[in-house]
Amino acid sequence: MKRASKALGLFSGGLDSILAIKLVQEQGVEVTALHCVSPFFGNPDKVPYWRRRYDLDIEVVDVSGEFVNMLVRGPEHGFGSVLNPCVDCKIIMMKRARAIKEARGADFIISGEVLGQRPMSQRRDTLNIIRRDAGVKDMLLRPLSAHHLDQTEAELSGLVDRERLLGISGRGRKDQMVLAERMALSEIPTPGGGCRLTEKENARSYWPVLSFTPSPTVADFVLANTGRQYWHDPNGGATFRLIMGRNQEDNTSILRLAGERDLLFKTADFPGPIALGRFFGTEWPAEVVLSAAAFTASYSAKAVRHVGQSRAAVAVRVHPGSLDAPGQVVHVQPNREPDFRWNEFSWDSARDGLKTGGG
């Protein structure tokens, strides 16, 4: 008996990737869905739900390291309208899928890309660039737009029937909705919104990490997703970073992500946020520690109220790396504008950095 064909399908959680995989499964192909994740995209917590809802075999694939390395050296194919390197991103995911295919002996790779749907990464020329630079030219099938594209090895060899594939193109979703209805999908995912790099609010947190961190790591960008982001530049270099928790979830994440060279700030006698200070030099100057402590105390409403009533200073505990580590207590007045000011970056400053090639 001829063995069943096996494929790997890139799976974002969006409708197009679901339809592309289902369309090939209808031809008897065994498909494993690969859900790529990084600090900027992916939702591994939803994978168990997706498995049940769409009856798919889904694996989580962490591409954080490759993605951060690409951002640090600069995307070869540039950024989109915000901080989104869409073409380079697809190449990274395709390369990883190719490696998994080779390791497992799968026959081909599936993508839910639709010709002309996205202005940066789904033009005909960029679709060709992606498969060329990822080394997947002979193994990548795009089932939803197959009739508009060159035949692939999977079609020529008879692993899939090209006549049962589709010729969808453009930015509309009418054809996809008709197909979803035919496939009786019980839930239709909402379009877009999957990548944080396409959103200005996130970009203004990521850009200073790229610009002012000497050797950014995955953890640096995970921290950029946590709490309020502040930077201090005593000599125009923005070498001090302060992450302020907004709620208990942020505080827990900050404690988990703190490194041994980081400082943790917490008001000693009043409820308030935990702040993580990161410095890229050898030692925190005392005046900057006091500034960060005063800034942290300013986010404790009860501490601010206490000072307003008594004019007494507030005690802030400063610990290296962990709240359990021996630290020091400093006494400060809560202050949102201390001598060494902490600033949030705006989207405008991030955009200007992109235009000038800063970072």
Interval 249-302: pLDDT, tens: 999 999 999 999 999 999 999 999 999 999 887 788 899 999 999 999 999 999
Torsions phi, psi of 38, nearest 5? -160, 180
Q: Per the domain annotation, does 359 fall within a domain?
A: no
In terms of domains, do 265 and 314 share one?
A: yes
Last residue of a domain, one of 166, 196, 226: 196
3-state secondary structure the chain: CCCCCEEEEECCCCHHHHHHHHHHHCCCCEEEEEEEECCCECCHHHHHHHHHHHCCEEEEEECHHHHHHHHHHCCCCCCCCCCCCHHHHHHHHHHHHHHHHHHHCCCEEECCCCECCCCCCCCHHHHHHHHHHCCCCCCEECHHHHHHCCCCHHHHCCCCCHHHCCCCECCCCHHHHHHHHHCCCCCCCCCCCCEHHHCHHHHHHHHHHHHHCCCCCHHHHHHHCCCEEEEECCCCCCCEEEEECCCHHHHHHHHHHCCCCCEEEEECCCCCCCEEEEECCCCCCHHHHHHHHHHHHCCCHHHHHHHHHHCCCEEEEEEECCCCCCCEEEEECCCCCCCCCCECCCHHHHHHHHHHCCC
Q: How much is the pLDDT for 358?
A: 52
Band (349; pLDDT cuts 50, 70, 90):
confident
In terms of domains, do 186 and 302 share one?
A: no
The stretch 131-151 carries a mean pLDDT of: 96
In terms of domains, do 178 and 312 share one?
A: no
Q: What is the pLDDT of residues 6-47, one digit of tens each?
A: 999 999 999 999 999 999 999 999 999 999 999 999 999 999
The stretch 85-98 carries a mean pLDDT of: 97
In terms of domains, do 162 and 234 share one?
A: no
In terms of domains, do 254 and 268 share one?
A: yes
Q: Per the domain annotation, does 353 fall within a domain?
A: no
User: How far are the Cα atoms of 111, 136, 353 from residue 17, in angstroms, in the given order?
Assistant: 6, 18, 34
Q: Per the domain annotation, does 354 fall within a domain?
A: no
This model's pTM is above 0.75: yes
Q: Per the domain annotation, does 356 fall within a domain?
A: no
In terms of domains, do 204 and 189 share one?
A: no
CATH label of the domain that carries residue 187: 3.40.50.620
In terms of domains, do 217 and 296 share one?
A: yes
Number of structural domains found in the chain: 2
In terms of domains, do 189 and 228 share one?
A: no
Q: Per the domain annotation, does 358 fall within a domain?
A: no
In terms of domains, do 131 and 229 share one?
A: no
In terms of domains, do 123 and 240 share one?
A: no
Q: How much is the pLDDT for 238?
A: 60
In terms of domains, do 220 and 163 share one?
A: no
User: How far are the Cα atoms of 21, 149, 265, 314 from residue 90, in angstroms, in the given order?
Assistant: 17, 18, 40, 50
Q: Per the domain annotation, does 315 fall within a domain?
A: yes
**CA 292 distance to own-chain centroid:** 28
Q: What is the pLDDT of residues 308-321, one digit of tens each?
A: 888 789 999 999 99
Structural domain containing residue 343:
199-348
d(CA 180, CA 160): 20
Cβ–Cβ contacts within 10 Å for residue 217, how many? 16
Task: Answer whether residue 236 shows pLDDT above 80.
Answer: no
273 closest CA partner among 298, 303, 255, 246: 246
In terms of domains, do 40 and 75 share one?
A: yes
Q: Per the domain annotation, does 1 fall within a domain?
A: no
Q: How much is the pLDDT for 282?
A: 74
Last residue of a domain, one of 143, 177, 196: 196
Last residue of a domain, one of 131, 161, 196: 196
Q: What is the pLDDT of residues 161-217, one digit of tens each?
A: 999 999 999 988 999 999 999 999 989 987 655 899 999 999 999 999 998 888 999
Q: β-strand 240-244 against 275-279: which pairing, if any?
A: antiparallel
Q: Per the domain annotation, does 162 fall within a domain?
A: yes
